[in-house]
Amino acid sequence: MASLLDVIGAAIVGSLVILMMFTALFNIQAINNNTQLQINLSEMSEDLITGRTVGSTNYLGLETYLSKIGAGVSTSTDPIIEATSTSFKFLGQLNSTSSISTFYFVQESATANGIPLYFYQDDMSNPMYGPFWLADSLDIKYYDVNNNLITSPNSNHTSIRSAELRFTFFYNTYIPDADKRLIRHSIVIWKYFKNLYL
């Protein structure tokens, strides 16, 4: 009888050890996958902001486009067309030989996948970049020459000299648990519009 109890006890302890090993292995795999997703999300969102080169093609980042606000635009023309907390539309020239373009980045209506962010150049019906999925609403704050927050930027275009842009990109996690959390990557950029000072 004692040996039978020893066998049952050993089987229970052995099965618990095996269960713990498989659980630990699964958790390590899930953490590894989530870490890889976090790295990819960080790289992609940084590329969106700063740009990247693939082969011989150079993709400009959002920061580059923002630095072109007002470039080549006549002083009699307002280079800022729309300035809200979730969209920014402006005129600018990418280089001295290009024509003046209309640039527009906008957060569109939320879907089940998240909040899409699109970037347009000239053609406002076909996005140049996007969608990029935001976890939280795009947050753009506009400031005047003295770094004072402009409370109604869409009616004060001529006062805008800089902006603070907050993006929170996300990925879904590997495990659809009850306590799952989205993998997030937040970026805050400040951009001073030097062409508006000239």
For residue 90, tell me if it sits in a domain: yes
- pLDDT value of position 176: 64
For residue 36, tell me if it sits in a domain: no
For residue 189, tell me if it sits in a domain: yes
pTM: 0.80
* C-alpha distance from residue 26 to each of 4, 14, 19, 20, 23 (Å): 33, 18, 11, 10, 5
For residue 118, tell me if it sits in a domain: yes
Range of the domain at 181: 41-197
Q: How many separate domains does the chain show? A: 1
For residue 10, tell me if it sits in a domain: no
For residue 28, tell me if it sits in a domain: no
For residue 134, tell me if it sits in a domain: yes
Q: Radius of gyration of the chain from Cα atoms?
A: 25
Output the average pLDDT for the chain.
88
C-alpha span between 67 and 60 (Å, rounded) = 11
**Tens digits of residue pLDDT in 16-60:** 999 999 888 888 887 888 888 888 888 888 888 888 888 888 888
Q: How confident is the model at residue 97 (pLDDT cuts 50, 70, 90)?
A: confident
**Tens digits of residue pLDDT in 158-183:** 999 999 999 998 887 766 665 567 78
Beta-strand pair 115-121/101-107: antiparallel
Contact 51, 94 (CB under 8 A): no
**Tens digits of residue pLDDT in 101-142:** 999 999 999 988 889 999 999 988 899 888 888 989 999 999
For residue 21, tell me if it sits in a domain: no
